[in-house]
Amino acid sequence: MCGIAGYIGHKDADQVLVVALERLKYRGYDSAGIAVIDNREIHLRRGVGKLKALSDLLERSPAPGTCGIAHTRWATHGAPTEANCHPHLSGDERIAVVHNGIIENHEELRRRLQAQGCVFRSETDTEVIPHLIAQYYNASPVRDPLAAIRQAVAGLEGSFAIAVMFADHPGRIIAARLGSPLLVGRGRRSPGAHSDRIAKADDRRRTDGGTPVDQRELMVASDVPALLPHASEVCFLADGQIADLGPHGVRLFTLDGKPEEARFKAIEVTADAVSKGSYDTFMAKEIAEQPSVLARLVDSRLNGGRLVDPDLGLDLAKVNHIVFLACGTSWHAALLGKRFLEHLARVHVEVDISSEYRYRNPVASGGTLVVSISQSGETADTLAGLRLARAKFIPVVSLVNVVTSTIARESNGVMPLLAGPEIGVASTKAYTAQVLALLLFAAQVARAKGLLDATAEAALVAACRALPEQAAATLAGAEDAVIEAADLFAAAQATVFLGRGGEHPTALEGALKLKEIAYVHAVGYPAGEFKHGPIALVSSHLPVICMCPKDALYEKMLSNLQEVRARAGRVIAVGEQGDRHLPELADLVFPVAKAGDDLLQPILSVLPLQRYAYHVARRRDCDVDQPRNLAKSVTVE
């Protein structure tokens, strides 16, 4: 989804903002742009395609100034062309706006503005915003930017995060949020504030009519990484807040103008955590991080060898119905969560896709609990589902990786995934962390209901503790076979993944990974269902990846594998290290360590599938971190 960044300080804004946009690329984008104020003029630079187009343009034609706003666009209304790139300007080019979200009543607003003489330069929904702000601003004798923005956003329907600059007010950015995430960053008070550079910037602001600067750099952004390294503190805007950044510092207001306190907290993420380090891609780095992510999560939940239950602010013993809400990969994790809860806590569980749940009229009883699962904590559909549940007085707990996210803030209780920033669009480490966190949650519910005795708890703890080492062994042990399979099947036009029980979600997840980063048509099926139609797809050109852990369904899986072989399908088996049958039955075997508890096996089985998708994508020359058409954080419907 679109990314927003804005900067006020003493550095060249275009340089700062290009780095900020670089850090927002993971959200998915197809064009980028920047506007900087200098000498009371707005300088606009925009480029279609990769961010390099914009940075090359800025090299040829720098945008001077120390205050600017910038944007990565993920097209919704209008193709990725220069005219549709943000920032968008008012007719007199005195106001610049960047926007994330969708303005649902843009057609009606556009017609009205056009009838009043506004000339539109783009096909975007966004462009109505600068025209509206300009109307209110120019109509008022006091020409108050804050009041004009408040009036303009009052007429917008849909969701938005915006950042706005006025040529008449250099050194000032006003940002507002309703539905799409936005945050404000603040740097340290600069001890070198009297350096020539800052003095010059101060002079320029004074000449431009600004008051002497608060010496801290100020930023706005859609996500924390974009604030680094200039900001050391962050303030998350709540829905319906406006932030006014300028020489006066940061002032917060509600949309109807009531002042609010800006609460800043230290930024804990480092610039290193959001860089690739020695890896060629974020995806490769994040796959490799999984053993340490699992270890961190296990350690956070153990004390003296016993499970520690986080306080979720509700009595889990009374919960008799759980509804999971999630999208994409997080939904696959939820399918495993259902198995864990049914097995350990004997609770009735439904797994809902957030975009479906939010448009139904779901039934809830006194003992219902909604559990929303989201890596980003900003997914619009999951957030809407959460709000619907809360409106029905259903308590909501959330599993999120970004604990400062909107979903986390609006939940009654939060279970953090502790996976660290996940930048690659394809979720990998957040998925395995979700699955493990769901197992720990199921154990917590089971214990609250008196269904987890000390022996069972000790066995589960031992299995969890062994997991990080088993994950490392699996990643190392399967790599050669994964590379061989990618060499053999990278050109295949389709791939099928089959799994039973806990490996059915693994099959779905393996297929999603291959689809999203390698653009190979892939589907996951419950293996027993394959013969009811999809088996017609099998031919010698079709790789079929069969999940065959040695669990209660092993024999059944082998029968399914034989059915594929009998029809000349090409079989890759994912099975236990040392399994002697699989090499005889399959073209290739991805060996996986055996988990201490069958419930945990899917965490290990998915690892070679992530690496397989990665290697196939590389062979097909795909950008694994930013696959086409996708966004990391899906903040629109």
Using CA atoms of 21, 22, 27, 31 in order, give the dihedral in degrees to the nearest 10: 60
Yes or no: say if 227 and 183 are a contact pair by the CB < 8 Å rule. Answer: yes
Find the radius of gyration of the CA atoms of the chain: 26
**Residue 330 Cβ, how far from ligand AGP at the closest point, in Å?**
4
Yes or no: say if 484 and 589 are a contact pair by the CB < 8 Å rule. Answer: no
User: For the chain, percent helix, then strand, then coil, each to nearest 5?
Assistant: 40, 25, 35
Q: Which stretch binds ligand AGP (CB under 6 A): 14-22, 63-71, 283-291, 419-427?
A: 419-427
Q: Find where tokens 């064009």 sit.
A: 31
CA atoms within 13 A on the CB side of 306: 9
- 382 touching ligand AGP, by CB under 6 A: yes
- 376 touching ligand AGP, by CB under 6 A: yes
Q: Judged by CB under 6 A, how many residues of this single chain contact ligand AGP? A: 15
Give the contact letters, 288-327, x = binds to ligand AGP (CB under 6 A), - = no: ---------------------------------------x
Q: Which stretch binds ligand AGP (CB under 6 A): 50-58, 158-166, 373-381, 409-417?
A: 373-381
Q: Where are the alpha helices (DSSP H) in 232-370?
A: 282-288, 290-300, 328-340, 354-357
Amino acid at 457: E
**Residue 381 Cβ, how far from ligand AGP at the closest point, in Å?**
8
Yes or no: say if 331 and 353 are a contact pair by the CB < 8 Å rule. Answer: yes
- 426 touching ligand AGP, by CB under 6 A: yes
Residues 320-339 that bind ligand AGP (CB under 6 A): 327-330
Among residues 285, 429, 594, 632, the one annotated as catalytic is: 632
End-to-end Cα, the chain, rounded Å: 11
Yes or no: say if 62 and 15 are a contact pair by the CB < 8 Å rule. Answer: no
Cα separation, 32 vs 14, whole angstroms: 12
Q: Find where tokens 């699989």 sit.
A: 582
- 635 touching ligand AGP, by CB under 6 A: no
Distances (CA, A) of 201 to 9, 44, 165, 611: 8, 20, 17, 49
Is residue 632 flagged as an active site residue? Answer: yes
**Residue 239 Cβ, how far from ligand AGP at the closest point, in Å?**
18
**Residue 95 Cβ, how far from ligand AGP at the closest point, in Å?**
33
> Which of 374, 406, 626, 635 touches ligand AGP (CB under 6 A)?
374
Q: Choose between 423 and 592: whose C-beta lies nearer to ligand AGP.
A: 423
- 145 touching ligand AGP, by CB under 6 A: no
Among residues 2, 118, 546, 548, the one annotated as catalytic is: 2
Give me the phi and psi of 185, to 5 degrees please: -115, 150
Q: Which tokens in the block code for residue 611?
A: 């690496």
**Residue 630 Cβ, how far from ligand AGP at the closest point, in Å?**
6
- 411 touching ligand AGP, by CB under 6 A: no
Cα separation, 412 vs 415, whole angstroms: 10
Yes or no: say if 44 and 89 are a contact pair by the CB < 8 Å rule. Answer: yes
Give the contact letters, 515-534, x = binds to ligand AGP (CB under 6 A), - = no: -x------------------
Q: Which stretch binds ligand AGP (CB under 6 A): 80-88, 222-230, 369-377, 566-574?
A: 369-377
- 432 touching ligand AGP, by CB under 6 A: no
Is residue 2 flagged as an active site residue? Answer: yes
Q: Which stretch binds ligand AGP (CB under 6 A): 31-39, 146-154, 197-205, 370-378?
A: 370-378
Cα separation, 587 vs 298, whole angstroms: 36
**Residue 447 Cβ, how far from ligand AGP at the closest point, in Å?**
27
Q: Which stretch binds ligand AGP (CB under 6 A): 201-209, 239-247, 368-376, 547-555?
A: 368-376
Indicate the pairing of strand 95-103 with strand 31-38: unpaired
**Residue 432 Cβ, how far from ligand AGP at the closest point, in Å?**
12
Residues forming the active site? 2, 632
| Residues forming the site for ligand AGP (CB under 6 A) | 327-330, 374-376, 379, 382, 425-427, 516, 633-634
